[in-house]
Amino acid sequence: DVKVTQSSRYLVKRTGEKVFLECVQDMDHENMFWYRQDPGLGLRLIYFSYDVKMKEKGDIPEGYSVSREKKERFSLILESASTNQTSMYLCASTMQGAVGNTEAFFGQGTRLTVV
């Protein structure tokens, strides 16, 4: 059974903290993505990666960075958490190639609250 695993389901952090959200996939997928999901806004792409040590900005990268040191792991980093980063964060992965040819597999999400 294919799987994308996010390390935490729920996180509560304080303003100004550095926050790490971890995502691991066991499908040997090349592409990995981080989205945030907010009511009424759907899913918005933060960053994505096509390969190890490669990253591309999505639509809302401000305040975030990412790390991909190994193929199976893609980390989202909030350098200095702020309350407007309170959200649901979803990780996804796909095989290489046009994403239209493949299915995106999603983790269960991490609900982050910044207080």
SS3 113: strand
Select the residue interacting with other proteins from 62, 83, 84, 98 (CB under 8 A).
98
Nearer to other proteins, 73 or 111 (CB): 111
Q: Which DSSP letter does residue 52 get?
A: T
Contacts for 43 with CB less than 8 Å, ≥ 6 apart: 35, 36, 37, 90
Q: Whole-angstrom Cα distance, residue 87 to residue 10?
A: 10
Q: Using CB under 8 A, which of the segments 14-22, 66-74, 77-85, 95-103 binds other proteins?
A: 95-103
Compose the 24-53 pattern: x for residues touching other proteins by CB under 8 A, - for all others: -------x-x-x----xxxxxx--x-x---
Site for other proteins contains 101 (CB under 8 A): yes
Separation between Cα atoms, residue 28 and residue 31, nearest integer Å: 9
Which residue among 26, 28, 79, 103 contacts other proteins (CB under 8 A)? 103
